């Protein structure tokens, strides 16, 4: 099975992976969803989506805690008995609980602390980034972290070369931090800008006191063989960013 393992110095008990579209069940998703589509809200055959999820489950300690994502800023502890999983960031402090977000151009931001006591993953499109999904997640993780130091890994997302937005997006980020304008380059037309989600996320993480940031070198739009991309294809599948704490070793 093909996936991406984050290249970051996380504690040994922190496990993370990012799926690609190059794995799936025997009767894996076809056509515009071809590959390992893990989303059940994009009109793919629900039986095949379930087969894809079952295929992935073989490599995880438990079923992932799938969220209903709304491009918002809410972060929730998925191991706290919370029955409402409408949020855009999942966090855990208990071994074996698999946090997950689905993406196809939006940025998955994985977080853990140096002590390996908490993990979290955020779904960060421009709306979530501008609204504070990273800040909210970092704040929550720090409530239960056993360490002052957090680190982050930026997973595959659309790169600035292909992500064109309007003036209102640039203005919204600049109102929060004037330095955010450095993450925007002029677009093809007046009032259009190419936005760098990776740089915007790094700025938000830095403002939250997270200095150790890794990743940010995979573009979903430019690699159709490996990644789904909503901006490139419109109707398409979704990949998953998954993060969990390992179960303690039994002696």
Angle at 224 between CA 26 and CA 20, to 5 degrees: 50
pLDDT for 83 equals 65
Q: What share of the chain is helix, strand, coil (3-state, %, to 5)?
A: 25, 25, 50
C-alpha distances (whole Å) from 185 to each of 110, 178, 189 are 26, 14, 11
- CA distance between the termini of the chain: 31
Q: How far apart are CA 15 and CA 249, in angstroms?
A: 14
Per-residue pLDDT tens over the stretch 40-61: 999 999 999 999 999 999 999 9
Q: Cα-flanking dihedrals φ and ψ of residue 89, to 5°?
A: -155, 135
Helix (H) or strand (E) holding 171: helix 167-176
C-alpha distances (whole Å) from 5 to each of 2, 12, 129, 213, 238 are 10, 13, 23, 15, 17
Residues 6+ positions from 22 with CB-CB distance below 8 Å:
2, 35, 36, 225, 226
Average pLDDT across the chain, whole number:
94
Q: How far apart are CA 105 and CA 44, in angstroms?
A: 18
Q: Please, what is the angle between helix 133-144 and helix 197-207, to 10°?
A: 40
pLDDT for 248 equals 67
pLDDT for 196 equals 98
User: In the predicted model, is pLDDT for residue 7 greater than 70?
Assistant: yes
Name the residue among 63, 56, 62, 110 with its Cα closest to residue 237: 56
Pairing of strands 150-154, 164-166: unpaired
Q: How far apart are CA 234 and CA 242, in angstroms?
A: 24
Per-residue pLDDT tens over the stretch 91-144: 999 999 999 999 999 999 999 999 999 999 999 999 999 999 999 999 999 999
Of 66-75, 81-90, 203-212, which gets the smallest average pLDDT? 81-90
User: In the predicted model, is pLDDT for residue 85 greater than 60?
Assistant: yes
pLDDT for 95 equals 96
pLDDT for 251 equals 43
| CATH entry, 8-149+217-244, from 2.60.120.10, 3.40.80.10, 3.40.50.150, 3.60.140.10 | 3.60.140.10
| Residue 198 token pair | 């990776």
Per-residue pLDDT tens over the stretch 11-26: 999 999 999 998 755 5
- The whole-model pTM stands at 0.94
Name the residue among 45, 40, 90 with its Cα closest to residue 64: 90
| Residue 181 token pair | 């304008």
């Amino acid at each position: 099975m093909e996936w991406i393992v984050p290249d970051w110095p996380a504690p040994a008990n922190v496990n993370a992976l990012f799926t690609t579209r190059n794995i799936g069940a025997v009767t894996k998703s076809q056509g515009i969803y071809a590959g390992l589509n893990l989303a059940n809200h994009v009109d793919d055959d629900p039986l095949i989506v379930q087969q894809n999820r079952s295929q992935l489950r073989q490599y995880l300690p438990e079923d992932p805690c799938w969220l209903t994502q709304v491009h918002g800023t809410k972060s929730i502890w998925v191991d706290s008995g919370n029955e409402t999983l409408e949020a855009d960031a999942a966090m855990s402090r208990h071994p074996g609980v698999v946090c997950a977000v689905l993406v196809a151009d939006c940025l998955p931001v994985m977080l853990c602390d140096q002590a390996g006591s908490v993990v979290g993953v955020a779904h960060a499109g421009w709306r979530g980034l501008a609204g504070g999904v990273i800040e909210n997640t970092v704040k929550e993780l720090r409530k239960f972290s056993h360490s002052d130091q957090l680190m982050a890994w930026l997973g595959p997302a659309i790169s600035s070369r292909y992500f064109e937005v309007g003036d209102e997006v640039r203005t919204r980020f600049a109102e929060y931090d004037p330095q955010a304008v450095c993450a925007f380059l002029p677009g093809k037309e007046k009032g259009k800008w190419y936005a760098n989600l990776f740089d915007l996320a790094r700025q938000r993480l830095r403002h939250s006191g997270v200095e150790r940031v890794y990743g940010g070198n995979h573009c979903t739009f430019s690699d159709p063989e490996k990644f789904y991309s909503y901006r490139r294809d419109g109707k398409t599948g979704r990949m998953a960013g998954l993060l969990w704490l390992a179960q303690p070793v039994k002696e």
